Amino acid sequence: MRGMHSSGLSVHPNNEPRSPSEKSLSLKEVALYLLPYLWEFKGRVVLAIAALLAAKGASLLMPWALKHIVDGVDKSLSNVLVLPVFFIVFYGALRFGSVFFGELRDALFSRVTERAMRKIGLRVFNHLHALDLSFHLERATGGISRDIERGTNGISFLMRFLMFNIVPTLFEILMVTIILSSLFSFWYGLVTLIAVVIYVIFTVATTEWRNQYIREANQADSSTNTRAVDSLLNYETVKYFNNESFESKRFDDALAHWESAKLKNRMSLLVLNSGQALVIALAITVMIWMAAESVLKQTMTLGDLVMINAYMIQLFIPLNFLGFIYREIRRAVTDLENMLALLKRQSTIIEKENATDLQLNEGQVEFNNVNFAYTSDRPILQGFSVKIAAGTKLAVVGSSGAGKSTLSRLLFRFYDAQSGRILIDGQDISQFTLQSLRQIIGVVPQDTVLFNASIRDNIAYAKPGALPEEIDRVIKSANLDKFITSLPEGDKTLVGERGLKVSGGEKQRIAIARVLLKGAKIIIFDEATSALDSESESIILEAMLQLAKNHTSIVIAHRLSTVVDADNIIFLEQGRVLEQGTHQELLAANGRYAQMWAMQLQNEKE
């Protein structure tokens, strides 16, 4: 499918399309970026350059050897014909050498390019994981993956061709010009230089003009892929609303834009290639005309004519390739811009320079006058304060949008509060490394997303390298053992992409088993039972009770029946603590909690 190889609007630090006026990368900036990766294997680079020089030397000598072969069998030069064996063998050796040393150069340098692609790909991958949650909530996954793919391929292209094609080709042009001028007439060198200058100017100017169409095609390519990936990830939603034709129309609209952009790209390529071919044809025609006249006047031999023709063909083959290389370099730089824009994107959640590892003592958690808003015009938490004693359970309830789930995101430092402090054992969490903070917190989310792997692998993800008996223990503790034994393949059963092959209750039990295996001291249940039926809910609640033992736990819930055993319940209203107390205390207060409890009881009866 065409769209599966394309994607959303080109990524840019604000996840917006890149405007035409935005400053693009220069070749100098690209070269400086790639230099450290070249320097890592400087020995290989030097050997590759030596192989390159050997290949170019063999190429420059081939027309000269060919001239002596032709003159050696020309009757007009000698009545006694002698087969020029030396030059025939020499010519064959030169032809083999030019290919062999070129291949040797590529073999030596391939390790450099492949290591660079590996390192840069890993760097981008790690950087994306280091970015804050807001970036990932706004991202277009298909577009980002396509930008990374094009960017890493562009780096490989730039590293190989900047070093081994542009500079050597310019060197070859200079040497051919000197050879023709010194052996024959300066006119040959002049024609060569004029043709090269016209060719280069035309290629650069036309390529710069074409660049706008390359950018447009890339953006259309990214948009198409994002449309396809987004639709397929939401396969069930599409089916629920019978929107196959609607999705098909949107995808076709994206493909139509891509088709139009590619057509402009192809037409501009026609102009470029035709112009380059015209310059080459005129130059060769003029050179052969002059050489043919000299042969007729007997001031040059047939071998000289063949040598000039061979040099011109040999010159314009790499020169024609130079035009292609320049076009592709500009395209690679354009592709690289989007990937580097990802690397320039900075996370809003930053560790302090002197951050140390958080040392957990008892596990007490405190929110102290916390104020937070996702956007300045919509405050979520306002002066929120609560203390959770070590080993106790806090329940957070309230209407939708009150800020309940925001608490877990702040504690986990997916976001930082605008003011106030969040403390663990009296220590401000902003002073410590993210790794050490998140290691002591386990989260059972409302919608557990699983990897497309086996049940056992999904549980083991919480602790890579966990012993088999550790995994077996948490499976039993999470009430998963009966379910697993009922499956033909047991815990080797694949859960499908994003866990679509298991039910909501089964996914939540896998999530609980994960947290048990992680061994975190602070547990957050973020509406972990809200999407479950009553039977599944009772099983999950039993597993949650098992998990919460000897842990500090925060239960964010909508159904009040799931939090009646909490040591403390707070009722959030518009980011503020409206009521606080145990279940019985809040019922006795006859406030908002009591009203919601009565309403839910009535709904259950009905």
**Residue that finishes a domain, picked among 316, 344, 372:** 344
15 or 25, greater pLDDT: 25
In terms of Cβ atoms closer than 10 Å to its own Cβ (0-12, 13-18, 19+), residue 357 is exposed
Mean of the pLDDT values across residues 33-59?
A: 82
- Same domain for 281 and 400, yes or no, is no
**Residue that finishes a domain, picked among 280, 314, 344:** 344
- Same domain for 85 and 230, yes or no, is yes
Q: Please report whether residue 521 resides in a domain.
A: no
Q: Please report whether residue 352 resides in a domain.
A: no
Q: How confident is the model at residue 532 (pLDDT cuts 50, 70, 90)?
A: low
What is the model's pLDDT at position 291? 83
- Same domain for 70 and 34, yes or no, is yes
The SS3 of residue 432 is strand
What is the model's pLDDT at position 354? 84
Other Cβ atoms closer than 10 A to 37: 17
- Same domain for 304 and 390, yes or no, is no
Mean of the pLDDT values across residues 432-447?
A: 87
pLDDT digits (tens, 9 = 90+) for 466-492: 898 999 988 888 888 888 888 888 888
What is the model's pLDDT at position 7? 34
**Residue that finishes a domain, picked among 310, 344, 378:** 344
What is the model's pLDDT at position 19? 37
Mean of the pLDDT values across residues 24-38?
A: 71
Contact 198, 279 (CB under 8 A): yes
- Same domain for 169 and 60, yes or no, is yes
Q: Please report whether residue 525 resides in a domain.
A: no
Residue whose pair of structure tokens reads 């002049």 in the numeric block: 190
58 to each of 90, 162, 207, 399, 542, how far by Cα in Å? 10, 21, 32, 80, 79
Check which CATH number belongs to the domain holding 148 and give it: 1.20.1560.10
What is the model's pLDDT at position 421? 93
Instruction: Output the average pLDDT for the chain.
Output: 80
- Same domain for 332 and 387, yes or no, is no
82 to each of 66, 69, 72, 271, 276, how far by Cα in Å? 15, 10, 7, 50, 42
- Same domain for 287 and 392, yes or no, is no
Most confident of 225-229, 271-275, 391-395: 391-395
What is the model's pLDDT at position 162? 66
- Same domain for 336 and 374, yes or no, is no
The SS3 of residue 366 is strand
Q: What are the phi and psi torsion angles at 424 (to 5°)? A: -125, 120
Tokens of 104: 């040797």
- Same domain for 311 and 340, yes or no, is yes
* CA nearest neighbour of 222 among 157, 151, 159: 151
CA–CA separation, 373 vs 353, rounded Å? 26
What is the model's pLDDT at position 549? 75
pLDDT at 317 over 80: no
- Same domain for 34 and 140, yes or no, is yes
Please state the domain count of the chain.
2
Q: How confident is the model at residue 367 (pLDDT cuts 50, 70, 90)?
A: very high
Amino acid at 149: E
Check which CATH number belongs to the domain holding 556 and give it: 3.40.50.300
Q: How confident is the model at residue 206 (pLDDT cuts 50, 70, 90)?
A: confident
pLDDT at 10 over 50: no
What is the model's pLDDT at position 568? 93
pLDDT digits (tens, 9 = 90+) for 78-133: 555 556 788 888 889 988 988 898 888 888 888 888 888 888 878 888 888 777 77
Q: What range does the domain containing 9 cover?
A: 2-344
Other Cβ atoms closer than 10 A to 530: 15
Contact 336, 25 (CB under 8 A): yes
139 or 589, greater pLDDT: 589
What is the model's pLDDT at position 368? 93
Q: Count how many residues are written for the chain.
A: 606
Residues 6+ apart with CB under 8 A from 407: 367, 381, 384, 396, 554, 556
CA–CA separation, 475 vs 516, rounded Å? 9
Q: Please report whether residue 515 resides in a domain.
A: no
372, β-bridge pairs: 381
- Same domain for 46 and 176, yes or no, is yes
Q: Please report whether residue 70 resides in a domain.
A: yes
Half-sphere exposure of 420 (CA within 13 A, CB side): 22
Q: Please report whether residue 500 resides in a domain.
A: no
Tokens of 382: 């306002």
Q: Please report whether residue 32 resides in a domain.
A: yes
396 to each of 264, 403, 438, how far by Cα in Å? 58, 10, 21
Contact 143, 226 (CB under 8 A): yes
173-177, 501-505, 548-552, 585-589: least confidently modelled range = 501-505
- Same domain for 315 and 376, yes or no, is no
Q: Please report whether residue 587 resides in a domain.
A: yes
Mean of the pLDDT values across residues 384-410?
A: 87
What is the model's pLDDT at position 80? 53
Sign of the Cα torsion 141, 145, 147, 148 reads positive
